[in-house]
With several copies, the nearest count.
Chain A
């Protein structure tokens, strides 16, 4: 076991929180209460929670268009997240960002990104900043299998490697990039093989096994904190929902989706492990789900009751020195 009971139960609770947050978001989107479009990470909780369970509040994370889970796992406030999704003035970004653009710089979340792979060059800057400031922080960037084929990924991994930056490149290979299968867009079986092109350690793990993710991440973080340089971590997982809510998904067989949902659910799998190791009981588990739901209801309530921003607020906050 890579953690004490308290940590493990906290991780479980966080996974449940991510799952329920995404489920809630899907429902409110379907109900027309969340504008724009949203991308859910249901089925990928092993990655977000396994990775972030190894981080300190002062460590940095850059995330993606599918970033709700990463944010929650890094400690973001549910109320302000839901409020942002609803476009309310009390949201993280005062309603300016929405689902694809949430950040919380107070806990090192450098932001979601609407540009695929947009976080990688940026995380290099965070890593360089850490090195120049001589702290022992680490910087983590999440990106997808689809993102991994964009040029900035290459530039960022190369730069991180020649400078031994304290960065962990976490590619969440959920098999799909929108309508495009990972196997079509790239000729590699394991994306961690890309690490070799930068003389960087690369590891592929079962991303739906939160403890496997955590184990690999702990080693990567240790390396980074010691100044030994970056690591690439591939979490093999699956995108259970459509690319965006409302995706017709003509491109894949729902049977494939169901198998993953039923046979390889990271939350359920972790629950089984905890139960087996007698760290969790059905009763305790239910209590956790109930507590999470209660917390989420409160967040949704907060968002609903919050006002929309005033139209003119659109003109605020563009420049720090106006």
Chain B
């Protein structure tokens, strides 16, 4: 079947539409979903197609997350919409002390098929409380899976996999990428299994390890570097937990150099975990230290010049690559 070009937002809606048609136990719960098909229009067509299965809630993040947990424990496959990823702070107990631990604490008696959809990321001048990328908190929480797609096809393929997965999955999708278009396979069984990274650009000189919005920074940087004769390989991790370390290792065995790129702030971000594993598991393969490119360690400021300064840019990736290549 031939690909179609569609936006990440449309790819999400299509994936959800296919899954909800297939399985009546799937429903979506969150604030302000029906009026405009989600506050970003991300659920376009779903309220009409699935009346009663796209459910508006009061502003009650703890209970929204808790409803997801309780419904998942009693035969449903809920998807909860967190409105802005920044507000996971308001349902943190339900996510990290309940959803993440219930199956394990109770000796594996139950499965908890829950998808927590979190629109995240900066660049919209939305300031400190509406711009965060918080995936690292959940990577550090055993019991949760963490998915951060970049391209439209990944959004669709990973959402379908997340929905079919029997464990709680944190699904982070960047707000600034909703309108970004890409090729999406038409095959309704097109699924990207959790835990599989993709080498999206081949290169022999350096491995750019990234996910989410960082992927596009890496593509631009790779272009730039190409002009200067540096061939960067771009690995889109797609799933942070489970992590596809094999693909990462294969790339580094080829390039012997790695730069990790993400939008979350540097200190304690996912790049730390990945860099730590790479140097531990591939020490003798490395010709240079693993460098990280990430947002600076401050809340996201409102004013454009400052927000742009805080966020990672392709030039930062280029700089890091040169630092690891010219030694």
- How far apart are B140's CB and chain A's nearest CB, in angstroms? 14
Cβ of B125: which chain A residues have Cβ within 8 Å of it? 35-36, 87, 98
- How far apart are A128's CB and chain B's nearest CB, in angstroms? 6
C-alpha spacing A179/B84, complex, angstroms: 16
Please give 13 more A-B residue pairs, beta carbons under 8 A apart, in addition to A114-B86, A318-B299. A87-B303, A97-B105, A97-B302, A115-B87, A118-B98, A125-B70, A128-B71, A178-B31, A179-B34, A251-B36, A314-B296, A320-B103, A320-B167
- Chain B contact residues, majority secondary structure: loop
Complex contact A180–B56 (CB within 8 A): yes
- Which of A20-28, A88-96, A258-266 lies at the binding interface? A88-96
The reply on B326 being an interface residue by CB < 8 A is no
Proximity string of chain B (47-91) to chain A, C-beta cutoff 8 Å, 1 when within and 0 when not: 000001101111111110111111111111010000000110110
The reply on B204 being an interface residue by CB < 8 A is no
B31-53: which residues lie under 8 A (CB-CB) from chain A?
A: 31-32, 34-36, 39, 52-53
Given contacts A87-B125, A96-B107, A97-B106, contact A115 B98 (CB under 8 A): yes
- Which of A40-48, A71-79, A207-215, A305-313 lies at the binding interface? A305-313
B253-306: which residues lie under 8 A (CB-CB) from chain A?
A: 296-299, 301-306
Complex contact B71–A125 (CB within 8 A): yes
Cβ of A312: which chain B residues have Cβ within 8 Å of it? 309
C-alpha spacing A186/B59, complex, angstroms: 10
Complex contact A101–B66 (CB within 8 A): no
**Shortest Cβ-Cβ A-B pairs, 6 listed:** A121-B66, A125-B70, A317-B108, A95-B303, A98-B302, A311-B309
Cβ of B304: which chain A residues have Cβ within 8 Å of it? 35, 87, 308
Proximity string of chain A (154-190) to chain B, C-beta cutoff 8 Å, 1 when within and 0 when not: 0110110010000000000000011110001110000
The reply on A55 being an interface residue by CB < 8 A is no
Complex contact A121–B305 (CB within 8 A): no
Interchain residue pairs with CB less than 8 A apart (26):
A37-B126, A94-B107, A95-B107, A95-B302, A104-B109, A110-B74, A115-B89, A115-B98, A117-B59, A121-B62, A121-B67, A122-B73, A122-B94, A128-B71, A132-B71, A149-B58, A150-B61, A152-B93, A152-B94, A179-B35, A185-B59, A248-B36, A251-B35, A311-B306, A320-B113, A320-B167
Given contacts A314-B309, A318-B298, contact A96 B69 (CB under 8 A): no
The reply on A283 being an interface residue by CB < 8 A is no
- The residue in chain B whose Cβ has the minimal distance to the Cβ of A60 is B74
- How far apart are B210's CB and chain A's nearest CB, in angstroms? 23
Considering only CB atoms and an 8 Å cut-off, how many residues of chain A contact the other chain? 79
- How far apart are B40's CB and chain A's nearest CB, in angstroms? 12
C-alpha spacing A321/B239, complex, angstroms: 15
Complex contact B62–A151 (CB within 8 A): yes
A122-136: which residues lie under 8 A (CB-CB) from chain B?
A: 122-130, 132-133
The reply on B157 being an interface residue by CB < 8 A is no
Given contacts A111-B106, A317-B104, contact A309 B73 (CB under 8 A): no
Cβ of A97: which chain B residues have Cβ within 8 Å of it? 105-107, 127-128, 302
The reply on A253 being an interface residue by CB < 8 A is no
Complex contact A121–B302 (CB within 8 A): no
8 Å CB contact of A316 from B32, B76, B108, B297: B108
Cβ of B31: which chain A residues have Cβ within 8 Å of it? 178, 180
A234-251: which residues lie under 8 A (CB-CB) from chain B?
A: 248, 250-251
Complex contact A96–B97 (CB within 8 A): no
Given contacts A96-B301, A178-B31, contact A318 B60 (CB under 8 A): no
Given contacts A93-B107, A105-B110, contact A125 B72 (CB under 8 A): yes
C-alpha spacing A189/B94, complex, angstroms: 30
> Which residues of B pack against A, CB within 8 Å?
27, 29, 31-32, 34-36, 39, 52-53, 55-63, 65-76, 78, 86-87, 89-90, 93-94, 97-98, 102-113, 124-130, 142-143, 145, 165-167, 194, 296-299, 301-310
Task: Determine which residue in A97, A104, A178 has the highest number of CB atoms from chain B within 10 A of its CB, and name it.
Answer: A97
Given contacts A114-B128, A128-B71, A147-B59, contact A309 B110 (CB under 8 A): no
C-alpha spacing A24/B141, complex, angstroms: 36
Given contacts A95-B306, A180-B31, A308-B304, contact A159 B63 (CB under 8 A): yes
Cβ of B39: which chain A residues have Cβ within 8 Å of it? 178-179
Given contacts A97-B107, A317-B108, A318-B143, contact A149 B60 (CB under 8 A): yes
- The residue in chain A whose Cβ has the minimal distance to the Cβ of B34 is A179
- How far apart are A136's CB and chain B's nearest CB, in angstroms? 14
- The residue in chain B whose Cβ has the minimal distance to the Cβ of A122 is B70
The reply on A1 being an interface residue by CB < 8 A is no
- The residue in chain B whose Cβ has the minimal distance to the Cβ of A163 is B55
Given contacts A36-B126, A179-B35, contact A120 B66 (CB under 8 A): yes
C-alpha spacing A211/B32, complex, angstroms: 34
C-alpha spacing A80/B70, complex, angstroms: 24
Cβ of B127: which chain A residues have Cβ within 8 Å of it? 36, 96-98, 100-101, 114
8 Å CB contact of A321 from B66, B73, B87, B165: B165
The reply on A116 being an interface residue by CB < 8 A is yes
8 Å CB contact of A125 from B74, B87, B113: B74
Given contacts A101-B302, A126-B70, A311-B308, contact A150 B108 (CB under 8 A): no
Cβ of B166: which chain A residues have Cβ within 8 Å of it? 320-321
- The residue in chain B whose Cβ has the minimal distance to the Cβ of A88 is B303
The reply on A255 being an interface residue by CB < 8 A is no
Cβ of B296: which chain A residues have Cβ within 8 Å of it? 314-315
Complex contact A91–B60 (CB within 8 A): no
Complex contact B58–A318 (CB within 8 A): no
C-alpha spacing A98/B307, complex, angstroms: 12
Given contacts A91-B107, A115-B129, contact A319 B302 (CB under 8 A): no
Cβ of A35: which chain B residues have Cβ within 8 Å of it? 125, 302-304
Complex contact A129–B303 (CB within 8 A): no
- The residue in chain B whose Cβ has the minimal distance to the Cβ of A108 is B74
